Structure 1
Amino acid sequence: MSYNAWENLVKKQLKTDDIYSVLKKENLEGIEVKPFYESVEQPLVNLPKIEENTHLVANYHESLIDDVFAFLLDQNVENLEQKTIFVNNTDLAGHISPKEEDRYFSLIDVFDEKEAVINDQLVKELLAKQFRRNICVDISLHQNAGAAIYQQLGIALAKTKELVEIYGAEILNKLVFRIAIGPNYFFEMAKLRAFKIIFNQLSKEYGLDEIPYIFAETSLRNKAVSDKENNLIRSTLELASAMIGGADAVFSNNYLVDRNTENSEEISFKQQIVLAYESIINVFEDASNGSYYIEDITQQIAEKSWALFVEIEEAGGYLELLQQGTIQKESTNMP
């Protein structure tokens, strides 16, 4: 259907010529969403991910050992062979001595948000490990605190810049970005895609051509203690957004907010299994590529995020603004 044909049809159905005042909807991100797309001004190239297939990550339990290939570990487990391991505990990381063939990734954030510093000793200890990715930049805490999408991504770049200035540009391919996925289905797909664009843009400032490693997890911000069924629906949509958006690994936080049970852990993980095995959305590199709508909002989010990153840098950088309290204030007050 052409744009003119669509416009005439909608005018007839809405019984008004002023259809755009009816169809226009504001959103908290400040992103312009059109009611109809027939093209995109500047089509994006395919946005790759690092892993061939998105890892489906489960909290470790011995009952899952034969069926799960990627675990999140908070405590030491012996003889985990041919598994992908995401280490979520600082003390555990200190005791692990991976072999070269092991696939270990760090989810340990090296930023001390309270003191507004980078834990230099921890960074050096983690970099000495034979992990596939040694340093985690945790953006999930900003999403869960109320930050807008462009704020999350602008902060992610600002944190990355702080690390590069201290440890050099070679640290870029040692990073894992831990990102919480919110409820805005298409916007969250665009968020991951936009981050790939601006991270690559930052890497090119240092003569590199890097892709971010994205560990995506379900948000805690929109889950309720007394609404467990809706929690499941929300987290399923968030996982789908992450897979379609091109995350390298996905993890579902327990849908029972106030307690963890063996059954709830299993159900939370099996959301990923159903999505992956029934729709195979975890195998595509950039499943939403070519969608005019998602392409358009991806570019808008990328532009807003980069502009915020530049603003943070001009104001002294992430740690400086964190020390001043600016980051905390802005992250919890969406526009």
Structure 2
Amino acid sequence: MSNDTFTSWENLVKKQLKTDDINAVLRKENLEGIDVKPFYTDVQQPLVNLPKIEESTHLVAKYHESLEEDVFAFLLNENVENLEQKTIFVNNVDLAGHISPKEEVQYFSLIDVFDEKNATVNDQLVKELLAKQFKRNICIDIALHQNSGASISQQLGIALAKAKELTEIYGTEILEKLIFKLAVGGNYFFEMAKIRAFKILFNQLSKEFNLNLTPYIFAETSLRNKSVSDSENNLIRSTLELAAAMIGGADAVYSNNYQIGNSTDNSEEISFKQQIVLAYESIINVFEDASNGSYYVEDITKQIAEKSWTYFVETEENGGYLELLKQGNIQKDIFDHAIEEQKWVEEGKIKLIGVNLYPKLEVKKSVEELYNNTEIKPVRWAEMFE
């Protein structure tokens, strides 16, 4: 944008907004500590194209017999015979123990090997999973942290710290066996940038061990911003979350049921078909890094990466993830951010249509009832009103 064009645009906006300081009117606060400008005219040092591992993002459905013919990737909780040529994400410890993969079947483990409550790694489980002929054996779950109210920089810093813990126990070769499970929240562009930033961060971590790796990212819709009432709004929110995940470059996406606490076959089918509409109507699952070059997304990607790396380094300097879990520091960090978010919901700064906006429901539970500063505990914002 030339200076003349920019000045003309700025003067027009000043006139429309009846202000001489458009920055004060247009700049929006956020709890992530990210500086967001009202407008962008360029980006310094553009990022390289950030690759993903899968050529097209896997659209993952909870297994149902009726889907066998048309769906290529399933989330599996129990054994199903003859799923050749399918990609399988195993979500059950007992099932993982009984699976003997055939070569043509791609298996991934989504079983968390960290015990957050006891601040330990399940060593026996790790060894059993590593012995399996899976494409990716070990899951690092930070969906738990997002659903518990962790900030984006905390989520990504913790993901790196958990990966570092595993390398210290099992060696650097484990980095190529990891799958990262993220929950994608409702802040559309921030969540897009979160996935992109994590690619930069994990690659940087791998370079510390003389590797050059891309993380495998399994992204699911968040539960944090969903409500029991007005489930149709949940559907709209999760559609945007899936879009952010695909555009950000996730390797696999999964829709949690949009009907909270009232799952039906019909709601499961609709939840999965959100992905189908996005992939087949918008074709956003095939691009490697669709938001590359967007000034806004590039800028916040860099900021998120920097803040997350700082959190990771501080975690390592203070003893690592498990040590800080034992001390209660991680839980307290997440708790502090979670209650700030909840206060924004209570005050209406974060708007949930049908919960605190149109209609505004009565507050029924306090922050103290919902949260515990000694536990990483998933809490939905809407629980305050339910």
Asked if Structure 1 and Structure 2 have the same fold, meaning a TM-score greater than 0.5 normalized by the shorter chain, the answer is: yes
Matched to 1:149, the amino acid is I
Deviation at 1:100, TM superposition (A): 2.3
| C-alpha distance in 1 between matches for 2:9 and 2:139 | 47
**SS at 1:333's partner residue?**
helix
Please state if 1:231 is matched with 2:230: no
Q: Following superposition, which runs of at least 4 residues in structure 1 exceed 6 angstroms of deviation?
A: none
**SS at 1:50's partner residue?**
coil
| C-alpha distance in 2 between matches for 1:259 and 1:228 | 10
Partner of residue 273, structure 2? 270
Give the alignment partner of residue 7 of structure 1, picking from 7, 10, 17: 10
Matched to 1:182, the amino acid is G
| C-alpha distance in 1 between matches for 2:19 and 2:237 | 36
Partner of residue 184, structure 1? 187
Matched to 2:272, the amino acid is F
**SS at 1:25's partner residue?**
coil
Q: TM-score, normalised by structure 2?
A: 0.86
| C-alpha distance in 1 between matches for 2:88 and 2:35 | 40
Partner of residue 51, structure 2? 48
Give the alignment partner of residue 317 of structure 1, picking from 316, 320, 339: 320
Give the alignment partner of residue 89 of structure 1, picking from 68, 80, 92: 92
* Identical-residue share of aligned pairs (%): 80
| C-alpha distance in 1 between matches for 2:331 and 2:74 | 32
Give the alignment partner of residue 193 of structure 1, picking from 185, 188, 196: 196
Partner of residue 153, structure 1? 156
Cα distance per residue 1:85-115 (max 9 Å; x no partner): 0000001000000022220000001001111
Partner of residue 247, structure 1? 250
Deviation at 1:4, TM superposition (A): 2.9
Partner of residue 128, structure 1? 131
Cα distance per residue 1:35-55 (max 9 Å; x no partner): 111111110000000000000
Cα distance per residue 1:246-297 (max 9 Å; x no partner): 0000000011111221111100000000000001000000000000000000
Give the alignment partner of residue 264 of structure 2, picking from 253, 261, 275: 261
| C-alpha distance in 1 between matches for 2:229 and 2:70 | 31
**SS at 1:196's partner residue?**
helix
Partner of residue 17, structure 1? 20
Structure 2: gaps spanning 5 or more residues: 341-386
Matched to 1:308, the amino acid is Y
Q: TM-score, normalised by structure 1?
A: 0.98
Aligned residues: CA RMSD: 0.9
**SS at 2:336's partner residue?**
coil
Q: How many residues align?
A: 335
Please state if 1:330 is matched with 2:329: no
Matched to 1:240, the amino acid is A
Partner of residue 209, structure 2? 206
Partner of residue 110, structure 2? 107
**SS at 1:301's partner residue?**
helix
| C-alpha distance in 2 between matches for 1:311 and 1:26 | 25
